[in-house]
Structure 1
Amino acid sequence: MLFDPVLSQWSDLLFEATLVVLLLALVFSTLEYAARRVARLGTGVLTTVGSGSDRPAEEPVDPPSTEQPGTRTRADRYGRIGIALTVLAVGTHIGSIVLRGLAAYRWPLGNMYEFTSAFCLMAVVVWLVLVRNYPGLRSAGAFVLTPIVLLMFLTGTVLYLQAAPVLPALQSYWIIVHVTTITTASGMLLVPGVSSVLFLLTRSDRFAGRLPSADLLDRLAYRVTVLAFPLYTFGIITGAIWAEAAWNRFWGWDPKETVAFVAWVLYAAYLHARATSGWRSTRAAWINVLGFATIVFNLFFINMVVAGLHSYAGF
């Protein structure tokens, strides 16, 4: 079989390193959240900033500290370590994907293992960009990294496939255009999905004041979805063009095509609801969560359980 075993091994090692580093980042992000929560509960401070403002939120307000001026709080130190580890994980993850492609002599998005790996990478990159521009979001890092770490674990165990050339049906330049676009859009949509879940949680007294403001979460979920939706639309269109070239029809209501279209309708409904009076907040957030749940359903259940024309990608 045509592949480079040495590069493939290094790719696998970098993937495993990425998973370990992301797990450590999750631990420190959780410690940051716990430290902020304990400090606020101990002093009665339950205020976060960023609500009602269109500017990037500052760090959540910490309670008065006995530390000397200029020193960082424990929560801030945990958070910065978590972000630094996440940046390191992006570097090792990119290396893993690049070496995977070089090992197999092809574009590294030919099966479920590679698709889900790139999906997680894009989600982490979007998260880091948002935290860079909206520092107040950092306290939600544990909630964003948890599904990513779980997906990475499943990718490296259940979905793992050895590097190898793809089947003839996938040997087309359309794999670069279509699959890359769908992967990018889907990974981007993970962050709005989590943001909408957190937005709904802020309605509960149990979480109120311990997460970024509801206004900030809702605003960012909308803005990232606005960017990802056209990419997702383009991915569906290029998939139809590729289907016509490969199967002599643009659309055949294959299970994966059908669920992808359902997800597209849900996101279109979310964007419409977000701009509609009376649906802007809670109802729109539920539609966004349902849209991302549909993408995850399409990624795992449809690919791994339901037989269809897209089953050749393997898992």
Structure 2
Amino acid sequence: MTIDEGLAQYSDWAYAATVLVYFLALIGYAVEGAFGQATRKRAEARQLVGAGAPTEVPIGVIEQPRRRTGAERFGRSAAALTVLGALLHLTSLVLRGFATGRAPWGNMFEYGAATMFVAVVGWIVLMRKFDVRRLGAFVMTPVVVLLFLGFTVFYAEAAPVQPALKSYWLVIHVVAAASSSGLLLIPGVISVLYLVRLRHETGKPSAFGARLAPADTLDRVAYQTTVFAFPIYTFGILAGAIWAESAWGRAWGWDPKEVVAFVAWVVYAGYLHSRATAGWRGPRAAMVNIVGFVVILFNTFFINFVVTGLHSYA
């Protein structure tokens, strides 16, 4: 199959622009996270200060909306940049797909790009549903770092996939794996922040913990995102087993990639089961969620590049 070098070049340019825009968004989120709470409190205090100014709005008087602080403007700009970056990100993936004439996730570079795209889209959805925008720096940091590493360390020229990957299961299995892994990045990061915030709320206050969303909100975001991602991850494992049966004549062969993927599945299943039956809604559940994501990262990087197995296509 002929590779369209022009489209491949445009895809790389869109990828580079994506990383730059995400980095600018990260800076905006960081400014809001660092200064947003303090400036908001000062603005509210100024509204209450006055010579005998009433604290309640008189009947018949329309209450004026609170003016946004400078830090909040940075946060809104960061959210807009995130959406712009996601559009560039999608453009990069689509162009790579047209350039190669296949699904654009046939190597580690492309798989990482697809996974981070899902993570960013998931974050955009969560920002609309929950008041968690000021946590954006913590979510965008691993996204920017992994995309940068993808373009510098894991980069692969546009090329046809290996013969073993020429199957429609490349679309089904890898889409499920990349989507679930990208979504699970968010509760992994949020669970770490939850532990910091919980420590702040339980008698060991810190300036960093004070800037985070309430612990209940963080716990709910992590749980609901995991609940959504887990069935997709389960389907990805099942699809991989069906593909393995078709390609290698067995659904399970104790390949390192298969084993670690199953370990991650057990960890997340234990997390959801304990939340549903044992009522774990504290640091123990958060730790289990963090362990699950560490296993996902281990499977994505260490298994692909250090351990030799049937899945060594990176």
Task: Report the TM-score when normalising by structure 1.
Answer: 0.89
Structure 2 Cα separation of the partners of residues 33 and 284 of structure 1: 25
Q: 1:112 aligns with which of 91, 108, 111?
A: 108
Describe the superposition over 1:286-309 as per-residue Cα deviations: whole angstroms up to 9, x where unpaired.
000000011011111100111100
Measure how far apart 1:203 and its partner are: 2.1
- Residue 71 of structure 1 and its aligned partner are, at CA, apart by 2.8
Alpha-carbon shift at residue 33 of structure 1 (Å): 0.9
Identity %: 54
Distance 2:284 2:116 in 1: 27
Match of 2:145 among 120, 134, 150: 150
Q: Which amino acid aligns with 1:191?
A: I
User: Which is higher, the Rg of structure 1 or of structure 2?
Assistant: 2
Residues 260 and 295, structure 1, Cα contact 8 Å, conserved in 2: yes
- Distance in 2, matches of 1:232 and 1:309, equals 20
Correspondence for 2:196: 201
Is contact 2:176-2:233 (8 Å) kept?
yes
For 1:166 and 1:264, how far apart are their aligned partners in 2? 28
Given the alignment of the two structures, is residue 190 of structure 1 paired with residue 185 of structure 2, yes or no?
yes
Give the match for residue 45 of structure 2.
64
Unaligned residue ranges in structure 2 (runs of 5+)? 49-63, 200-204
- Structure 1 distance, partners of 2:278, 2:44, is 37
Give the conservation status (yes or no) of the 8 Å contact 2:18–2:86.
yes
Q: How does 1:61-140 map to 2 (within 5 A)?
A: 63-65=44-46, 70-134=66-130, 136-140=131-135
Rounded Cα–Cα distance in structure 2 between residues aligned with 1:69 and 1:284: 39
Cα deviation 1:217-249 (Å, max 9, x = unaligned): 101111111111011000000000000110000
Count of residue pairs the alignment pairs up: 293
**Structure 2 residue 223 is the aligned partner of structure 1 residue 222:** yes
CA distance in 2, matches of 1:69, 1:168: 61
Equivalent residue letter for 1:93: H
Quote how far apart the aligned CAs of 1:72 are: 1.4
Structure-2 separation of matches of 1:305 and 1:38 = 46
Which residue does the alignment assign to 1:178? 173
Deviation at residue 66 of structure 1 after TM alignment: 6.4
Q: 1 CA distance for matches of 2:280 and 2:24?
A: 38
Tell me what 1:33 maps to. Answer: 33
Shift of 1:87: 0.3
Task: Tell me what 2:163 maps to.
Answer: 168
User: What's the CA shift string for 1:21-63, capped at 9, x where partnerless?
Assistant: 00000001001111124437x86xxxxxxxxxxxxxxxxxx74
One-letter identity of the residue aligned with 1:139: R
Matches for 1:215-254 after TM superposition, within 5 Å: 215-254=216-255
RMSD: 1.7
Q: Secondary structure at the match of 1:160?
A: coil
Other structure's SS at 1:203 match: helix
Structure showing greater relative contact order (alpha-carbon pairs closer than 8 Å, 6 or more residues apart): 1
Amino acid aligned to 2:101: Y
- What's the secondary structure of 1:107's corresponding residue? coil
Maintained 8 Å contact 1:192/1:288: yes
Which residue of structure 1 lines up, in the alignment, with residue 270 of structure 2? Answer: 269
Counterpart in the other structure of 1:280: 281
SS state at 2:210 partner:
coil
CA distance in 1, matches of 2:190, 2:167: 36
Do the aligned residues in 2 keep the contact of 1:274 with 1:281 (CA within 8 Å)? no
